[in-house]
Amino acid sequence: MSDLHGAVLKERVSRSYEVDCYFPMQSMCSVTLYQDAHCKPSMNQFAGLITPSHQPHEPRSCWKDLYYSLIEAREIICITGWAVWTSLRLFRGMDLKIDNRTLGEILVDKANQGVQVYVMVWSEKTSGDILGEKGIMGTHDMETFNFFKKTKVNCALCPREMKTTEFTDYLQNEFSTGAYTHHQKSVICDAPVTDSDRRRLIAFVGGLDLTGGRYDTPDHELFSTLLDEHLGDFRNSNAKSIPPEQGPREPWHDIHCKVEGKIAADVFQNFYERWLKQGKKYGSLSPIDSFNISLNEVPQMDPERLWNAQLFRSITDDSADFDKEKASHMNSKKGRMVDSSIAQAYIQMIRNAENFIYIENQYFLGSAYCWLQNEDTNCHHTIPSEITRKIVDKIALGQRFCAYIVIPMFPEGDPASAPIQEILFWQTRTIEMMYRQVGDALRTYGNNSHPTDYLLFLCPGKRELAGEHIQRLEPATEQFAKTFRESMRFPIYVHSKMMIVDDVYIIVGSANINQRSMAGTRDTEMAIGAWQPFADLRHPFGDVHVFRMSLWTEHLRITEPVFHHPASIECVTRVKELCLYNWHKYIADSVEETPGQLLPYPLNILPCGKIETLEGVKSFPDFLPGAKVLGKLSAMIPQKVTT
């Protein structure tokens, strides 16, 4: 490729990757990608992966990097989250020798050292006066606020409120305050600059819940860590009656990133705008230019591995004090300014896709206007429809394309409960619509392929063998504990909110693929979109590619050359073979360890695109008969909660 042609190509791609929204694309940035909370250095399953600099790939540990970033801060620390737990320990096991302080203790110590520390948590309506300190959601909001009340840490309780200009708005405000959340998750702090007394800014963004039950590794252990890494930090929200000493725990898969350079200043600007709106009564916060911080500094690295990055949000001016000059980049609804740029970014990048899309998300429902039934449901964001349209267009052109979508086996909670069953019902309507359109396109264009050759829904789960660690646990006496002790299997919960396009572009953030996250007027969210402009755009094997391969290695426990080309039918076929083999091990009557952790989503997809349940699997394994895979519509729950 000539220099001129390369420059033209990169300019074209740069334009198509920049979204016209509140925050501009920032160049010359650094992006570090993380899978799960912690990656052990000894994890040899990644040994076969090579980085763009021809070094062995070693996944970094997010919580360890976060710890050292907090410790190195000298000027400012800003944290916002859906849940922030002051008793959280960032180190576990043998690493506790490094520092066994809790997150709350670390932040108080930093504030006492003169660092300006700000914590902004979602104020969950039922906590406090209604149901005591814990509330229904268990977000620790009042506990966290009370912990910092008499310290130098500035802690703000922020409800998700809306303006009330008429009676219907008052009702909407009452509903949103109780049901909608501040779902943004970020940590911002200053860091040293080599050979300078100035500081630079870094920010962590992602599914980054700094609360209980989130610590996990790519091994996603069910039982063996209960008396070690997860002692005092047990979570199983799918079967809440299970005692911590009996298990299993709920495995937790997540994705995060660290950004440095001007993009980190944009993450701070989001925090600053939110603090001005809802936090200033808890303490004053100065603009970033009042600190001894250079916004252009990034760590020393290969210039050809630098990134372009852009910040996206779902938020209204009820929750942030926007820059009025940037108002032209936002929509307006009932007099409120709305930033819905996360949805814009997803749509634009799906339309840019040429070969494949790889998604990991906690939810996948939307495009109700296309559903075969219940099309009047208020879940109208277009992301599922955009993916389907891309696939249909590729089929029409006779070109290969595949969308891989990894979701949890079911949303977090009792899968037989009414809210989870209704979310599954909406998800089924979404999947049903997508496969039916793909099946119709295959017939229309005389393509004998199967719909799953173009669209593949997957979910992670694990079955492991018993060992000495089981003997150290309490005997299983609780009914669910007995069931899982006998089956030795459990779904791995997907909390990720990520999309990779063509191994070139990645979105990582807090936003789920549902109406609550994408509307802009419901939950508040944030995400980073990033790509490396100096990567070879015809054969992209940069950091995004390596990260996607690392995720596949975690899920499939194997690395094969065919995985380098996800759009190829050879790759799709191999992934389906491996996942189906894992599924047979997962549901076998005898306990057999799953060699990989990725399973086909438990639906039978017919060649015409019709979906049905698998034979003998109308309900999720090990759960009650009411835990139906296809879900069930509820007559009692407001749709705005479950969509």
End-to-end Cα, the chain, rounded Å: 47
Higher pLDDT, 165 or 259: 259
Digit-coded pLDDT (tens) for 468-517 = 999 999 999 999 999 999 999 999 999 999 999 999 999 999 999 999 99
Residue 190 bears catalytic tag: yes
- Which position among 318, 502, 523, 543 bears the catalytic label? 502
- Beta strand segments in 40-197, E: 76-81, 116-122, 154-158, 186-192
Which of 196-205, 256-265, 330-339 is the least confident region? Answer: 330-339
Task: Return the pLDDT at 539.
Answer: 64
Task: Return the pLDDT at 333.
Answer: 80
Task: Return the pLDDT at 239.
Answer: 95
Residue 209 bears catalytic tag: no
Cβ(554)–Cβ(254) below 8 Å: no
Superfamily name with CATH number, domain 62-216+251-301:
Endonuclease Chain A (3.30.870.10)
- Which position among 38, 125, 183, 258 bears the catalytic label? 183
Q: How deeply is 417 buried, as exposed, middle or buried, from its count of CB atoms within 10 A (0-12, 13-18, 19+)? A: middle
Digit-coded pLDDT (tens) for 567-607 = 999 999 999 999 999 999 999 999 999 999 999 999 999 99
The full DSSP string for 463-477 is: E----HHHHHSPPP-
Q: Residues with Cβ < 8 Å from 202, sequence gap 6 or more?
A: 69, 188, 189, 190, 191, 258, 259, 260, 264
Higher pLDDT, 269 or 534: 269
Task: Return the pLDDT at 171.
Answer: 44
- pLDDT band at residue 296 using 50, 70 and 90 as cut-offs: confident
Could you tell me what percent of the chain has a pLDDT over 70? 92
Q: Which residue ranges make up each domain of the chain?
A: 62-216+251-301, 363-463+542-642
Phi, psi of 49 (to 5 degrees): -90, 140
Q: Using DSSP, state whether 454 is helix, strand or coil.
A: coil
- HEC-encoded secondary structure of 133-162: CCCCCCCCHHHHHHHHCCCCCEEEEECCCC
> What Å distances lie between residue 132 and 124, 142, 229, 234, 634, CA to CA?
11, 9, 29, 22, 29
- Which position among 497, 545, 585, 628 bears the catalytic label? 497
Q: Is the pLDDT of residue 327 over 80?
A: no
Q: Is the pLDDT of residue 295 over 80?
A: yes
Task: Return the pLDDT at 44.
Answer: 67
Angle, alpha carbons 525-181-252 (nearest 5°) = 70
Higher pLDDT, 125 or 65: 65
Task: Return the pLDDT at 170.
Answer: 43
Counting other chains too, the contacts that 162-165 makes at CB distance below 8 Å and 24 or more residues apart are 162/316, 162/318, 162/336, 162/521, 163/318, 163/334, 163/335, 163/336, 165/334, 165/335
Phi, psi of 475 (to 5 degrees): -60, 140
Task: Return the pLDDT at 225.
Answer: 97
Structure tokens at 313: 């949000």
Q: How deeply is 344 buried, as exposed, middle or buried, from its count of CB atoms within 10 A (0-12, 13-18, 19+)? A: middle
| Cα separation, 552 vs 576, whole angstroms | 13
Task: Return the pLDDT at 481.
Answer: 97
| Cα separation, 544 vs 535, whole angstroms | 10
Rg (CA), the chain: 24
Task: Return the pLDDT at 353.
Answer: 97
Q: Is the pLDDT of residue 271 over 80?
A: yes
- pLDDT band at residue 330 using 50, 70 and 90 as cut-offs: confident
Digit-coded pLDDT (tens) for 32-67 = 999 999 998 766 677 678 777 777 888 999 999 999
Residue 329 bears catalytic tag: no
How many Cβ atoms are within 10 Å of 224's Cβ, its own excluded? Answer: 20
Higher pLDDT, 124 or 117: 117
Which of 10-14, 166-170, 628-632 is the least confident region? Answer: 166-170
- Which position among 38, 110, 185, 628 bears the catalytic label? 185
- pLDDT band at residue 335 using 50, 70 and 90 as cut-offs: confident
Supply the mean pLDDT for the chain. 92
Digit-coded pLDDT (tens) for 408-446 = 999 999 999 999 999 999 999 999 999 999 999 999 999
Q: Is the pLDDT of residue 201 over 60?
A: yes
Q: Residues with Cβ < 8 Å from 415, sequence gap 6 or more?
A: 238, 421, 424, 620, 623, 624, 627
Task: Return the pLDDT at 132.
Answer: 57
Whole-structure pTM value: 0.95
Task: Return the pLDDT at 175.
Answer: 46
Task: Return the pLDDT at 131.
Answer: 54
Q: Using DSSP, state whether 490 is helix, strand or coil.
A: strand
Q: How deeply is 311 buried, as exposed, middle or buried, from its count of CB atoms within 10 A (0-12, 13-18, 19+)? A: buried
Average pLDDT over residues 366-379: 96
Higher pLDDT, 27 or 133: 27
- Which position among 36, 95, 141, 190 bears the catalytic label? 190
Task: Return the pLDDT at 388.
Answer: 98
Task: Return the pLDDT at 174.
Answer: 47
- pLDDT band at residue 537 using 50, 70 and 90 as cut-offs: low
Residue 502 bears catalytic tag: yes
How many Cβ atoms are within 10 Å of 306's Cβ, its own excluded? Answer: 18
Q: Is the pLDDT of residue 5 over 50?
A: no
